[in-house]
C-alpha cells in the first residue's frame, strides 16, 4: 500500500523526528511505499495569498475560492500545491504528524491544508440540492483512503480527559478529524497521541513503550476501525439545514452527536 | 480605552476589510485608541522556526520553548515578535478578526499566536505545585484585559447550530477562546460571527444589518458579560490532574463543563 506522511516539526533531532523515522522504517519493512512531506525542511510556503496564483491580474480583487478553482481547472496551480495534491491522490493512507501547539496543528501544517485543499479538489464538489449538499463529510476525492493523526502534547494525559481542563482530546481534534479529514472523504482512524513529552520527560522506558504502541497502530493501519462519523448525504441530516434529524441522538447536542455510536460496521 | 485588532484576511477590498474599517472608525469616534496588526499587509512571518532566534548557535538542537524563554529573558527576541507583545500589553481589549478557514483561524494568525505567545509571556508563568498549576486559565499576563473574535463563515448559520453538521460554533472556537485567549488570562467575550458571506450573498440590506449588530458589540465592548470559563486554580479542578471536581457538573463531560453556567457575576 502507499502512505503519505505530512510532517510538521521544526527539528529532526526531536521525539517527533525519531517517531517519523520509526514509522517510515516500519512501513517500508512491511513492503509499503512511503512519501514524506517534511514541511519545515521543504521550507513550505505557509500563507495562502495572491503569490499562489502567478497568472492572476495583479489589480483584481483577490478571491481565494474562485481563484483556486480556476487555477485547478486550468492546470496552472503553483507547483508545490499540485505536487502535494498528487501525493494525496497517490496515497492509500495519509498520516499527519505534528506537535500540538496551542491546542491545534502548527501554522505551517494549517497553511498546507489551506493551500493544498483547493476548491474543486477538497471542497466545492458535487451537486447542491435538497437531497445532496456537495460531495463532503464522507464523500469526496479522498473517499476510500484512510487518515490518522500522530500527535505529541506537552501536557499530561489527565488534562485532556473527558473532564480535563484543556478539553477532551477528541473534541480538540474534531475540527481536524471531521472538518479537514472526513470532509473530503477520508476514513479517519482514532489518533495516536503521546502526552507529557517535554524535555527530560521521555526516558528509554517511556520511549520504548511509545514506539511499541505506535508500531502496532502502523501495523494495523488497514484494519483499525475508523471513527464512525455520520455521512452527510445518507439520510442522517436535514438538507439544506444540515442539522441532525430529531430522532437521532434525540435531545443531545455538541460534537459527539456526529459520531454514530451504533455503527459497528467497521467503518 | 485601548484596543488592538489582529486582522488576518488577504484582501482589504473584502467584507472583512470593510468590517475592519468600520470597527476602527467606530472605536476612534468613541474616543478609543486603536492599533491594527494587518498580518497579510505586514507580510507577517508565519512559521515558528530557528530564524526567530538570530543569536542562537546554528548547530544546537532547536528547542522552541526553551529558546523563546531565553530570548524573552535576555531581551533579544525578534523585533516583530516583541512589537506584537507590546501591543498586547498596551491594549485593554484585543480583537482577533478572521475568516473561518477549515473550521479554525487562518495559518497566518495561528503563526502569530505561536511566535508572539513566548514562554514566560503567555505560558510557563507562575509556580507549579499541588495547589497551583501555573498562572493560566483565568490568570496570567493578560488578566484584566478583554478579548473577542470577529469571524466570517461561508456556511449557513444552521450548519453551526448545536446539532449542525459542522459542529456547534462555540465548540469549534473553544480551542481559540479557552486555549488561546482564556489561557493567558483574557476575559473572553462571546464571538461575533457572520454566516453565509460568499460572493453575491451579502446585499446592502444584509450588510447594514451586519454593521448594525457589530456596532452594538463594539459599543458594548466594556460591558458585555464574558463567557464564564472556570478558573483553573480557584478550586474547581483537582491539581495536578486538572480534572473538574466530581461535584461540579456531575456526570457530564466535554467542552461545555468548563463554562460555569451558574456564574451570573458578570465575569
| Cβ-based contacts under 8 A for chains A and B | 207
B254 closest CB neighbour out of A64, A171, A232: A171
CB-neighbour burial class of residue B166 (10 A; exposed 0-12, middle 13-18, buried 19+):
buried
**Cβ of B11 and A180 within 8 Å?**
no
Chain B residue with minimum CA distance to A233: B165
Residues of chain B in contact with residue A178, where contact means CB-CB under 8 angstroms, are 167
ipTM > 0.90 for the complex: yes
Query: What's the farthest any 2 CA atoms get from each other in chain A?
Result: 59
Q: What is the pLDDT of residue B55?
A: 87
Q: State how far residue B147 is from chain A, nearest Cα, in angstroms.
A: 17
**Cβ of A168 and B253 within 8 Å?**
yes
Residues 193 to 212 of B: which have CB under 8 A from any A CB? 198-199
- Domain A2-226 sits in CATH at 3.40.50.360
**Cβ of A168 and B40 within 8 Å?**
no
B257 closest CB neighbour out of A65, A137, A163: A163
For residue B58, pLDDT over 60 is answered with yes
**Cβ of B11 and A242 within 8 Å?**
no
Domain spanning B2-227: which CATH class is it, in words?
A: alpha beta
Closest CA to B188 of B129, B134, B145, B234: B145
Q: How much of chain B exceeds pLDDT 90, in percent?
A: 95
Contact B222, B1 (CB under 8 A): yes
Q: List, for residues A47-89, the tens digit of each pLDDT value.
A: 999 999 988 998 999 999 999 999 999 999 999 999 999 999 9
Q: List, for residues A178-200, the tens digit of each pLDDT value.
A: 999 999 999 999 999 999 998 78
- Chain A interface includes B117 (CB < 8 A): yes
Provide the pLDDT confidence category of residue B247 given band limits of 50, 70 and 90: very high
Q: State how far residue A30 is from chain B, nearest Cα, in angstroms.
A: 31
- Would you give the distance in Å from CA B12 to the centre of its chain? 21
Would you list the DSSP string of A207-221? HHHHHHHHHHHHHTT
Q: Which of B12, B110, B173, B198 to mutate to test the interface with A (most CBs of A within 10 A)?
A: B110
Provide the pLDDT confidence category of residue B265 given band limits of 50, 70 and 90: low
Entry pTM: 0.98
- Chain B interface includes A124 (CB < 8 A): no
**Cβ of B167 and A65 within 8 Å?**
no
Question: At B3, phi and psi to the nearest 5?
Answer: -125, 130
Q: List, for residues A205-240, the tens digit of each pLDDT value.
A: 999 999 999 999 999 999 999 999 999 999 999 999
Q: How far apart are CA A58 and CA B11, in angstroms?
A: 12
- Chain A interface includes B104 (CB < 8 A): yes
> Residue A25: how many CA atoms within 13 Å on its side-chain side?
9
Q: How far apart are CA A260 and CA B148, in angstroms?
A: 34
**Cβ of A102 and B108 within 8 Å?**
no
B104 closest CB neighbour out of A104, A156, A163: A104
What grid cell was written down for B97? 478578526
Q: What is the DSSP letter of B108?
A: H
- Give Cβ neighbours of residue B247 (< 8 Å, ≥ 6 apart): none
Closest CA to A37 of A72, A69, A78, A8: A8
Provide the pLDDT confidence category of residue A250 given band limits of 50, 70 and 90: very high
Amino acid at each position: 500500500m502507499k502512505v503519505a506522511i505530512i510532517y510538521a516539526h521544526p527539528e529532526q533531532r526531536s521525539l517527533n523526528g525519531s517517531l517519523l523515522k520509526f514509522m517510515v522504517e516500519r512501513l517500508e519493512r512491511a513492503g509499503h511505499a512511503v512519501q514524506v512531506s517534511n514541511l519545515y525542511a521543504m521550507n513550505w510556503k505557509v500563507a495562502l495569498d495572491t503569490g499562489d496564483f502567478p497568472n492572476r491580474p495583479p489589480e483584481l480583487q483577490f478571491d481565494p475560492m474562485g481563484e483556486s478553482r480556476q487555477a485547478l481547472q486550468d492546470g496552472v496551480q503553483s507547483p508545490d500545491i499540485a505536487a502535494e495534491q498528487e501525493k494525496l491522490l497517490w496515497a492509500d493512507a495519509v498520516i499527519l504528524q505534528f506537535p500540538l501547539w496551542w491546542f491545534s496543528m502548527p501554522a505551517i501544517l494549517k497553511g498546507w491544508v489551506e493551500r493544498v485543499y483547493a476548491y474543486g479538489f477538497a471542497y466545492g464538489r458535487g451537486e447542491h440540492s435538497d437531497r445532496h449538499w456537495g460531495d463532503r463529510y464522507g464523500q469526496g476525492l479522498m473517499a476510500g483512503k484512510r487518515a490518522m493523526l500522530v500527535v505529541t502534547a506537552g501536557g499530561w494525559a489527565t488534562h485532556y480527559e473527558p473532564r480535563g481542563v484543556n478539553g477532551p482530546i477528541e473534541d480538540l481534534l474534531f475540527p481536524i478529524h471531521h472538518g479537514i479529514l472526513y470532509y473530503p472523504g477520508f476514513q479517519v482512524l482514532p489518533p495516536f497521541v503521546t502526552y507529557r513529552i517535554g524535555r527530560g520527560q521521555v526516558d528509554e522506558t517511556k520511549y520504548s513503550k511509545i514506539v511499541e504502541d505506535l508500531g502496532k497502530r502502523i501495523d494495523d493501519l488497514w484494519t483499525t476501525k475508523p471513527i464512525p462519523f455520520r455521512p452527510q448525504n445518507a439520510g442522517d441530516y436535514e438538507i439544506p439545514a444540515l442539522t441532525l434529524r430529531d430522532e437521532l441522538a434525540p435531545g443531545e447536542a455538541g460534537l459527539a452527536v456526529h459520531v454514530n455510536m451504533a455503527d459497528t460496521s467497521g467503518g
